[in-house]
Every structure is written in C-alpha cells, then in structure tokens.
Amino acid sequence: MDHISQPGAVSSRRFPPRPESAGQARRFVRAALADCAPDAVETAELLVSELMTNVVLHARTEAEVSARVLGHVVRVGVGDSRPCRRPVPRESAPYAGPGQGLAVVGHLASRYGVDTGGGRKTVWFELWLDGRPPPPSTWATVAPPCGPTRTVTLVDLPGTLYLASQHHRHALLRELTLAASTGADTGVDPDDLAAAHDANHAISAGVSAALDGRPTVSHVHSLSVSLPAGVARAVRILGRVLDAAEEAARDERLLTWPSLPQNRVFRRWLLDQITGQLTGGPPTAWTMVPREPSASPSELVAWDASQVWASRVPTIAADDDNRIVVANGPAADMLGWQEDELVGQRLTVLIPEHLRDRHVTAFTRLLLTGQPHILGRSVPLPALHRDGRLVPVRLFIQTQVTADGRTVYVAQLAPRTAPPVPAPLTSGESQAISPQPPGGPELPDDPERVTETESDEPDGPARERRLLADIGESLSSTPNLDEGLQRVCKILTQRLADWCVVDLLDDGELLERFCVAHHSSTELPAEAYAGRLPPVTGAARGPLARVLRGAGPLLLTEGPEPSQVKSPLDVHDRELFERVGANSAVIAPLRTRGAVFGALTLIRTDGERPFTEESLPLIGDLVRSLALGVEHARLYQETRHIAERLQRSLLPELPEIAHLRMAARYAPSSTTAQIGGDWYDSFVVPGGRTAVVIGDVTGHDLEAAVAMSQLRSMLRGIAIDRQEPPEEVLRRLDVANHSLSEEATATCIYGLVTGSADGPWQLNHSSAGHLPPLLTTREGDTRYLDAGSGLLLGMEPDMPRPGATDPIPAHATVLLYTDGLIERRDESLDHAMDRLRRHAAALAAEPLDVFCDELLIALSADSADDIALLAFRPVPCA
C-alpha cells in the first residue's frame, strides 16, 4: 500500500510572473509531496506546471502555489490576483503537445475547480489516491467582470474553423512568448505581446461563455459575445502581433506552422468584426465574406471520414504529415489497392516517381508559407497505379478542419477520360413538384408527427428513427429524383411541418425550386412554387442565401428583416413566408463532402407549436440523410445521362433518299444506368443501293459499347469496299470479329434496299441470330421476314450464312428493332411478337416518325433493356 502523509499544514510559496517560475513551482510541489507515491508526485508536477504557465501568460500577476496532503487526497492550488480572468478550458487536441493547460488538468485530476473571492482567483486540483470514484467536476465559475462590457454579434460563426483558429492563435502567441523569454529578437514589443495575450484571452473567454449550452462547437452558430468595452485597441494589437508571428513562422523561427489561407481569412474577419462593432459598425456574416480559391463552404462543418466513405467520387484524405487517413472504395479500385491498405501510407505511394520530389517540395512550401499553389484548382496529372501504370486523373484538393481543429487535405481524383456532365436544365424544363391541389383531400394531423414535446416521450427517439428511415427509403426506392423528393416532402408535411420546400443548385450554380408541399389549406399561385429562382448574387443577404453559402440550420421565428432584403432572391424568400403565414421556420443546408448544393426549408404556421432550438438536432440528422439520398439520385441520373449521350454519339445520321422515308430511335433502359451494345446504321453503298443495319452486342457495359462501335465500323467498311450480298458481308464481319483481342457475341441484320425511284423495291437481307424484321403494309397487314436467319456473330465464322429476298410494297413499312422493344420477363416470345404486330398494324397509315414514337410509347415503358429501332418506307416519286 502506498505511504500517504498524515494531515498537516498547507505548504505554500509565491512566485513572480516569469517563465522560469513554472520550473520552480514544479520543484516546490515535488518537495511538498515528497512522502506521496511517485506517480502522484509526477502528475502533480505536470499539472502545476500547466497552471503556472497560464498565470504567466494570461494573469501576469504574482502567483501563490499551495500543496497539502489530507488522508488519501492530494490538493494543489495556483492562485493569482486577476479573478476577472475566468478559466477558458479548451478540448485537448489528440495530436497536440504542451499548452493544453486546463484540458490536461481535466483529464488527469480526480477533482478540479476554481475559487474566487477577496480579489483573488485560485485554480485547484485534487488527486484521490485510494481508488474511490470522485464526484463530477466542472470549470464553471462566475467571474467578476473586468470593467464594463459590450456585446459583439458573430453571425454564422463556423465552429470548426473557429476552433482551428483558436488553437493556432494560442500556438503562435505561446511560441512567440517562449522565443522572447530566451532573448530572441521577435520584433514584437513586450507590452504589445502582453496586450495580445489579453485580447486573445478575452476573445476565447467570451466565445466560450456564449457557447455554453450549445450542442457542439463544430456547428455553425450566430453568437452574441460579451467582451470588455475597451478591448478594441488590444484586438488591433493582437492582429499585428499575430502577423509578426506568422512571418516568424514562415522564416522557421518558431516551432509552429503559419496559417493556411482560410484560417488567415477567418482570423481577419473575426478581429475585424470585434473592432468594427465595438466602434459602432454593423455585423457582417462570415458566410458573406468572399472566399479564396482554396476555400469553400466545406470549412463550415467538421470533416468526417464518413464524407469520404459515402462518396462515389474517388477521394483520398491526408493529414499534415502527408499520410493517408482515409481512402474510399472508388479511389482504391481506380489505383489497384484495397481501402485499408492505403491508410497510414505516405501520399507519395500514389505519385509517380518523377513527380515525387515536386510534390514533397510543394507540400513543404505550403506548410512553411501557408501559400497554396494547387489548392482549390483542378490539376491534370498522372497517378500511380499499384502495378506501376500511370492513370491520368484530374486532381482537385481542398482543406477541411476536423472537430478537434486539425487540418485534413481532401483530394478528389476524376479520370480524365470521363465524359462531361450533362448540360443544366433550361428555365423551361422545371422539375418543381406541385403541391397538393386545392380542393383535394386534406391530410389529417398525423399521430406520428414528430414534435419537440414528443421527443421527451418514451417512444420519441423511435419515432425520430422511423422518420429518418422513411426519408431514406423514399429516396432509395426510386431512381427518379423528382418522385423521391415528392415522397420526402409529403412525409415531412405529415409528421414535422406544415410546409416543406426543397431548393437545389445545379452545376451552373443556378437555383431551382424542386419541391413544395404543404399541410394546410393555404393556396398560393403557381409561380410561388416552381421553377428557376433568382440567382444567389453577392447582394443576397437573406436566410436562404446565407444557408446556401454554408450557414445553418437557421431557426427563424419571423420572416426575413427588411434590412436583409437586398436582392430578388431575398424578396422571393420573404414573400413565401408572408403568404403562408409562417410563425417559425428552419432552413438547413443540404451538403455532401462539405459542399452545399441546396437547402431544405420547413415552415410551421401553427402558433401553438413553433420550431425551437430543440428542433435543430433532429432536422440536422434529417438533412444529412436527405442530402446523401439526393446526391445518390443525382449521380444515378447523371450516369444515365452520360451513358445515353455516349450511346447517341455512336449512332449515325440517316441518309436522305427521295423515294425512301427513314426514321430511327434509340431509348436507353428505363431501369439501368449502363451503356449497352444496341445500334443501328444506314448508308448508301456504291451503285445506289441503301444499306440498313440493326444489331445488339451481348452485355450492358463499356466493353459492349466498344465492341458495338468496332462491329459497326467494320461492317460499314466491308460493305462499301466489297459490295457483296448481305450474307457474304456478315460472314466477312464474323471473320473480322474473331480477329479482335476480345471478340464479341452479337446479333445483327444487314440488308440492302434496291429499286428505282418508282419501284418495285425489295429487301435483300441476312440475319445473324437477330429478331426478324416486321413488314406492315399501308392496309395494316403484317408479316415477319424470317428467312435468311443464321448463327450469331462470334460463334462459327467459317459457317456459310443464308440470305433472303423479300418484295416491299409501296408505302409499306419495314421495322428493324432490338429485343428491348418486345421482350418481357415471364412472357413468351410469340406473345411479345404478336403484340408488336398489333401495334404496328394500328399505326400503318401514320407518318414514319409517328409510327416509331408511338411504338416506343406503347412498348418501352417497362423495358429493362436498351432499345434501338430503324424503320424505312418506300414512297414512289410523284
């Protein structure tokens, strides 16, 4: 059992406010506790050194250190003569070294606290050595004000960026003080350094007090901060001192890095807000400050590894030691690694050898100078595959801040071979969803509607989980973004709000109102709901504009103030609130990977149950789920659009022939986002005959599309060069197909339409396992041209292929099509072909374009496959 000293008198000693006093206080405590266990003595030495350092840096008065042992309890106190300097505990960053002060005491001491009175303040801690669990402790104390105070409003304060700035301010001032104590020439006057410490402490203390009771510092808040009335001059000095410290850090005269760009901009905004408002100026929201290219709204929220894991974009994150901390599946797959294999490795493992020195130099320059060269820019360069190949990518790097103040470098790698994204919708292509029509059934108050009062009920959390699950299910159960958002808005107006509005930014940063739904009988004109909204200009100051710049969730208990209405977007926003009779609202940003791409607005009109601060955690969870679902739906639609554009780019223009009407259609699958091997072609061969082609390569992927393109090109070349019958052209095509490194299995029809301008006409054709053409006369008689059918391409290239010749009456329509037009699961092919005949017969007299479009409308709605069709109709020249 450890020997514990008997109760005795308190040992105490006074120390001047000099750096060497920290070491002297350690030796004093070691001597006073000489009879205690060595572990307890070492812990007490460490903690008293931290507290003494705080007195030297912040209080700058004589300090009295006391120590005593009472039974199994060691108690140490450090007092100073500035009781108005309240302790400002900061969360201990896991990567940090000294200077954590109160956070270290909180982690290691059994009990701790602050006593004030008699013009003094004593910070104390206890070490309980008998293993008893001590009661909980807190640093909370009521400090007397250091004279009169003034209030400064910090609008849209980003918690994570503030935390990083606070850590960095503290580190710069600490290192500057240590350098000055050794006699180094820092270029900073000692009185200015003391004033800077005072201003820095006042800011930290004021923000800490304003954050009491807030959910977490990592959120975006608008804070009313109480500061000493005369602190403006000291804050200006703080700015100059920090600039000098930055310069010293860049010259490597301090043991800390200079600030990164967004940190410098934020610090300038913070200090300018304090000095400006204390001298009578108005507040300016952080979200209204112009960003540097390397900064983005991602700085407003704490970085989380799940942002990378959930992304479909190849993404890698590294720390400031140049080590990979997260790599998602798409990035690992692109570069030939497993995700967990990359974590912990230097980033240079993914950089070609000839670029490694350049990378190390650039990264070191960034850390030493704080000046970015490629941050916020899209840079084309090669990445190194695990097998040694070079993968051309376009690299985009931005910084984000973790909840504990660290900087993370997040890199997105886009393959340079990727096709461009689809063009944004025009104003005439509104995707807005109409509300419940007037006169329709009004939704009753849902018994599962989640409110603040219900969150205290036993099943409140269960209801919230069910709401979040239903939101996710609504978006995941349909690939159509419009339909998914309509379902989400309906759920939210049944359970949480009277009105729900979803606004999304497109790739051109234009704002579209996608969805409006309501749970009331209020009627609004159509223009209040739908379509393109006014742009988010620099003049916009309203809550929606602030949220789209990264603020929020914002709780509104009244409509936007007239002073905030500075742009057409602000006017539109204010009119909506007035027309629906809102008594409260929450506007929350929709963001993924830190970037804001839209906003959710929830409005209540019932005065008895407004939104409150207690509503925000649930809505925060809700928008995170909603944002992820919207991103997935958008990526799905974008992929389908890209696939369709790629497929269409491979399809030809039809020749113009006076006596031959022609039409073709291509429709991608309604249920997949993959490209496929369906194609059609038509061209005039030497001698005046018209070639018609339809084909389908097995598969629905990029390989199928590549094979399709190769077959199409080879067939056209063989047909024009040889000018042989269709069966011989297909035989040669099959032989050429086998010469490819990866031969394709495909069906195909190649036909030649012959006949003079006045007829008669005939179709010479050969089929490689394809569905037979359908001939429909002007009178509606139909028959399949099923002669001339042989093996698929890719089976037996030396096998002779049959050919056939069929007469084509004037004004008859011949339809070539792929199987996606008719085949359905659990349906016989005969039944499907009969259905096509009936529809074609009904359309026999229609113009050819109508004939094709109506067939697609009637037959392709539930198709799970791509569809290509080509139709021609001989028409005698007048």
Q: Read off the tokens for 597.
A: 């791409």
- The helix (run of H) or strand (run of E) holding residue 842 is helix 829-842
Question: What dotted CATH number matches 11-128?
Answer: 3.30.565.10
d(CA 585, CA 577): 9
DSSP string, 190-255: HHHHHHHHHHHHHHHHHHHHHTTT-S-TTSEEEEEEEEETT-HHHHHHHHHHHHHHHHHHHTT-SS
pLDDT at position 23 over 50:
yes
Q: Read off the tokens for 77.
A: 């106190």
pLDDT of residue 171: 84
| pLDDT, mean of residues 298-315 | 66
What DSSP character marks residue 144?
Answer: P
- The helix (run of H) or strand (run of E) holding residue 702 is helix 702-722
CB environment 354-384: b (16+ within 10 A), e (fewer): eeeeebeeebeebeeebebebbbeeeebbbb
Q: What is the pLDDT of residues 330-347, one digit of tens each?
A: 888 889 998 888 988 888
Look at residue 813 and give its three-state secondary structure.
strand
d(CA 491, CA 471): 7
Lowest mean per-residue pLDDT among 252-261, 417-426, 833-842:
417-426
Q: What is the pLDDT of residues 73-106, one digit of tens each?
A: 999 999 999 888 777 765 544 333 334 567 788 8
pLDDT at position 323 over 60:
yes
Q: For residue 153, what are the β-bridge partners? A: 224
CB environment 141-175: b (16+ within 10 A), e (fewer): eebeebeebeebbbbbbbbbbbbbbbbbbbbbbbb
Instruction: Give whole-number Cα distances, 119 to 79, 660, 740, in Å.
Output: 10, 104, 91
Question: What dotted CATH number matches 453-638?
Answer: 3.30.450.40
pLDDT at position 553 over 90:
no
Instruction: Provide the phi-psi class of 147: left if phi over 0, else alpha when psi is between -120 and 50, else beta.
Output: left
Q: What are the helix (H) ranges across 33-154?
A: 38-54, 102-108
pLDDT of residue 722: 86
End-to-end CA distance of the chain: 117
Q: What is the pLDDT of residues 659-675, one digit of tens each?
A: 999 998 887 664 454 56
d(CA 544, CA 503): 9
Percent of the chain with pLDDT over 70: 77
pLDDT of residue 435: 34
Residue type, 608: E
| pLDDT, mean of residues 808-818 | 95
Q: Check if 11-128 and 453-638 are the same fold.
A: no
Q: 304-415 domain in CATH 3.30.450.20?
A: yes
Q: What is the pLDDT of residues 232-266, one digit of tens each?
A: 999 999 999 999 988 888 887 887 778 777 788 88
pLDDT tier, 679 (very low <50, low <70, confident <90, very high otherwise): confident
Beta strands per DSSP E along 668-744: 677-684, 690-697
Sign of CA dihedral 39, 43, 46, 49: negative
Whole-number average pLDDT of the chain? 79
Instruction: Give whole-number Cα distances, 737 to 323, 715, 740, 790, 796, in Å.
Output: 48, 10, 6, 16, 11
Neighbours of 78 (CB within 10 A): 26
pLDDT of residue 1: 36
> The tokens 């043991």 sit on which residue?
255
| pLDDT, mean of residues 361-387 | 72
pLDDT at position 455 over 50:
no
Look at residue 165 and give its three-state secondary structure.
helix
Q: Read off the tokens for 307.
A: 């942002």
> Are the beta carbons of 519 and 449 closer than 8 angstroms?
no
pLDDT tier, 490 (very low <50, low <70, confident <90, very high otherwise): confident
pLDDT of residue 419: 32
Lowest mean per-residue pLDDT among 31-35, 271-275, 427-431, 634-638:
427-431
Instruction: Give whole-number Cα distances, 305 to 118, 315, 348, 404, 530, in Å.
Output: 50, 11, 21, 14, 36
Domain boundaries, the chain: 11-128, 149-290, 304-415, 453-638, 650-874
pTM to 2 decimal places:
0.52
pLDDT at position 453 over 60:
no
Closest-CA residue to 74 (of 115, 37, 49): 37
**SS3 sequence of 525-539:** CHHHCCEECCCCCCC
Verify cis geometry, omega within 30 degrees of 0, for the bond prior to 553. yes
Closest-CA residue to 603 (of 489, 709, 700, 702): 489
pLDDT at position 277 over 80:
yes
Give the pairing type, strands 690-697 and 554-556. unpaired
Residue 662's Cβ-count burial label (10 Å; 0-12, 13-18, 19+) is: middle
| pLDDT, mean of residues 262-281 | 90
pLDDT at position 148 over 60:
yes
How remote is the C-alpha of 573 from its chain's centroid?
Answer: 25
Closest-CA residue to 127 (of 105, 142, 144): 105
pLDDT of residue 718: 93
Dihedral over alpha carbons 594, 599, 605, 607 (to 10 degrees): 20
How remote is the C-alpha of 94 from its chain's centroid?
Answer: 26
pLDDT of residue 872: 96
Q: What is the pLDDT of residues 192-203, one digit of tens each?
A: 998 998 898 888
DSSP string, 535-580: P--TT--SHHHHHHTT--PEEESSPPPGGG--SHHHHHHHHHHHHH
| pLDDT, mean of residues 220-237 | 87
| pLDDT, mean of residues 759-776 | 94
Q: What is the pLDDT of residues 680-705, one digit of tens each?
A: 999 999 988 999 999 988 876 667 77
Query: Candidates 3.90.1720.10, 3.60.40.10, 3.30.1280.10, 3.20.20.70; correct CATH number of 650-874?
Result: 3.60.40.10
Give the pairing type, strands 531-532 and 111-117. unpaired
Q: What is the pLDDT of residues 497-541, one digit of tens each?
A: 888 888 888 766 678 888 887 765 555 544 455 567 788 877 787
d(CA 847, CA 845): 7
Beta strands per DSSP E along 252-370: 315-318, 324-327
pLDDT tier, 431 (very low <50, low <70, confident <90, very high otherwise): very low
pLDDT tier, 426 (very low <50, low <70, confident <90, very high otherwise): very low
Q: What is the pLDDT of residues 603-646, one digit of tens each?
A: 888 766 888 888 888 888 888 888 877 877 777 666 666 655 66
Q: Which is more confident, 493 or 460?
A: 493
